[in-house]
Every structure is written in structure tokens, then in C-alpha cells.
Chains A and B, each alone.
Chain A
Amino acid sequence: MNSTDDGSHLWHRTISRRTFLGAAALATGAVAAGLQAPAALAARGSLPTVFPRPIPGGVSPLGIFVHHFPPVPLLGPGPINEPSQITDFNGLVGVCRVTGSGTGTDTSTGMTSRLNYQVDNGFMRGLYVGEDGLEHHGTFAFV
């Protein structure tokens, strides 16, 4: 872990959501409910402990409310929109909206095409209150 402005961290390797949820599904009780990592895996330091909770506010793209503020348009009253996806949070945060282009390939045919992208990504690292109501430290990606 490399950071000049933060505390402890719980993950020691890349944890995919599928791995996280799949491992959690193997366990029972609160673990099976997705609240906690299985003890055996957590003991190896391979899983985070608990998911954070969403920010209470948000926007309604296509008329569907989500707990998220996009980087733009600016909604006020401040000069930026809330960049974090998680509430009860104290830590480092980053968010972006970028666009660009690239090449898509159908590997079954070899056919390629030029495509355009939009990426709204971000990160959150620090102290948070989890779904279990307790405080935790962790690192999260907004993808």
C-alpha cells in the first residue's frame, strides 16, 4: 500500500466483486447475508470485512433514483458534487469523468470496430461505518 495520507488497510491482493460475493455465499448467517467475510478467508487477510453503505442522496438518470452524484453537471451549492459513493466515511476520495475511443475485437471472427467510451471511475479509502453498523477501514473502487 502506498499512501501519504491514510490509515490502515485490509486487502492484500486484488479482490474482485465476484470473488468477494462468491466467497461470502459459502458461509452462513451474517456471512451468507453478505455482511461479513468468511472468518477463515478474512483471517488470511484476503477479504475485506464489511461493505459500506451508500450516500443518502443521489440523482435519477432515466427516472431511476441511484445513490450517486455524477461529476457533472454541478448540482450545488458547492463547487463539486459529492465524490464519494459511501456514507459515514472519512478518507481519501477521487472521481472522474473521461471519454475517449478504442478498438473492439470479436475474437471469434477477428472483426474489429472503433468504439467510443465514457468512464466514470473513482476510489474511496479510509474509515467507514459498514452495513453492520461498526467502523472499518478499507479501499473501494467506483467502477
Chain B
Amino acid sequence: MDLFTGPVGSSGQIHDFNPGIRPSGLFWTQPVSADTLDVDLHRGTATLSQDDLDEEDFHNLHNALVDGPRDPASVSFEMRWTAVEQEPSMKVTDPVHRFTGKFRITTVEIAWSAKVGSFVFVSDPPSRTVNVRSVIGRERNGVFFSDD
């Protein structure tokens, strides 16, 4: 979850909130309570809500990728995936990256906040979320992958 003083992706990044990279290489992934996630693939919706989740603020992407100095931070968010009606469910099998599944293209609305030191960020209302690309689905990969 990245914050910029200028346009997104510019050199003006000042915060980069994530849980860090595991020694295994597991990327920015952390366990959460099961009851914070609601998924209904039939309706094409999912909601993920986290309250005061511990993160690290690496301040910019490069520092995050090299596991550089960080400050303890926390984030809270509520985000909702909603399938785009015009986009049918897609059966995808990717033998190169070895994953297969059924997916829906979605929109997402998010409200989130972050705290690090004396700094607090609060996002604009979720209706102002700008969508780039989002999906939900069910998949199998790795040892559970088969392309039949």
C-alpha cells in the first residue's frame, strides 16, 4: 500500500506499507483471520476487512525490495471485489506458470487508513477508488496443477 506526494509511480513515494518478504521469498503475504474474508463466487463478490494490521513502512519500493530500514506501522482497510457483469467467468490454464482456474474480472472499492509514528493517512471514500485490474476466482497451482 503505497503513498506518493505526486503521481502514482513517481519518485515522490513516501510510504510503502507491507509485511516484508519471508526468507523463503514469500512476497508480502501474511496470515489473517478467516472471518475477515467473505467470498461468494456465485455472486462474484469478495470482501476483505482488516483492522489495525501490523505492517512495516519501508517508505519506498526499492527499500522494500532490498529489505532495508523500516518503521513499524499499521493499516486498516475494507475492500470489496464485485464481478463486472459484462465479463463472463474465464477458464484459464497457464502451462507456463502452472496455474489453472476459473476467474472473474472485477471492480474493487477500498477504504483504508495507515499509521506510522505521528503520521496518519485516510483514503477518500471508496466510491472514488480508481480501478486498474482486479480478479477473483478459484485456482490450483504447483503440485495441484494439471492442464487437463
Are A and B physically bound partners? Answer: yes
**B residues 19-49 touching A (CB-CB < 8 Å):** 19-42, 46, 48
Known contacts A4-B40, A82-B99: A98-B65 contact under CB 8 Å: no
| Structural contact, B128 and A17, CB atoms closer than 8 A | no
The one of B65, B110, B131, B134 that contacts A94, using a Cβ cutoff of 8 Å: B134
Known contacts A54-B25, A86-B26, A94-B48: A20-B138 contact under CB 8 Å: no
Docked complex Cα distance between A14 and B48 (Å): 12
Q: How many interface residues does chain A have, given as a range?
A: 35 or more
The one of B33, B34, B132 that contacts A98, using a Cβ cutoff of 8 Å: B132
User: In the complex, which residue of chain B has the Cβ closest to the Cβ of A138?
Assistant: B31
| Structural contact, B2 and A96, CB atoms closer than 8 A | no
The one of B33, B41, B53 that contacts A139, using a Cβ cutoff of 8 Å: B33
Residues of A within 8 A of B138 (CB): 5, 91-93
| Structural contact, A119 and B110, CB atoms closer than 8 A | yes
Docked complex Cα distance between A11 and B36 (Å): 10
Known contacts A57-B97, A105-B120: A67-B27 contact under CB 8 Å: yes
**A residues 3-19 touching B (CB-CB < 8 Å):** 3-6, 9-19
Smallest CB–CB gap between B41 and chain A, Å?
A: 5
| Structural contact, A66 and B136, CB atoms closer than 8 A | no
Smallest CB–CB gap between A108 and chain B, Å?
A: 4
Smallest CB–CB gap between A73 and chain B, Å?
A: 9
Known contacts A14-B50, A92-B39, A105-B120: A77-B30 contact under CB 8 Å: no
Docked complex Cα distance between A138 and B26 (Å): 15
The one of B3, B133, B142 that contacts A71, using a Cβ cutoff of 8 Å: B133
Docked complex Cα distance between A10 and B51 (Å): 18
Smallest CB–CB gap between A89 and chain B, Å?
A: 5
Docked complex Cα distance between A98 and B74 (Å): 19
| Structural contact, A96 and B8, CB atoms closer than 8 A | no
The one of B41, B118, B141 that contacts A55, using a Cβ cutoff of 8 Å: B141
User: In the complex, which residue of chain B has the Cβ closest to the Cβ of A12?
Assistant: B33
Measuring CB to CB, which residues of chain A are less than 8 angstroms from any residue of chain B? 1-6, 9-20, 34, 47-48, 51-55, 57-58, 61-62, 64, 66-69, 71-72, 76-108, 113, 115-119, 121, 123-125, 127, 129, 131, 138-143
Those 4 A-B pairs whose CB atoms lie nearest each other, nearest first: A9-B34, A88-B142, A16-B54, A96-B134
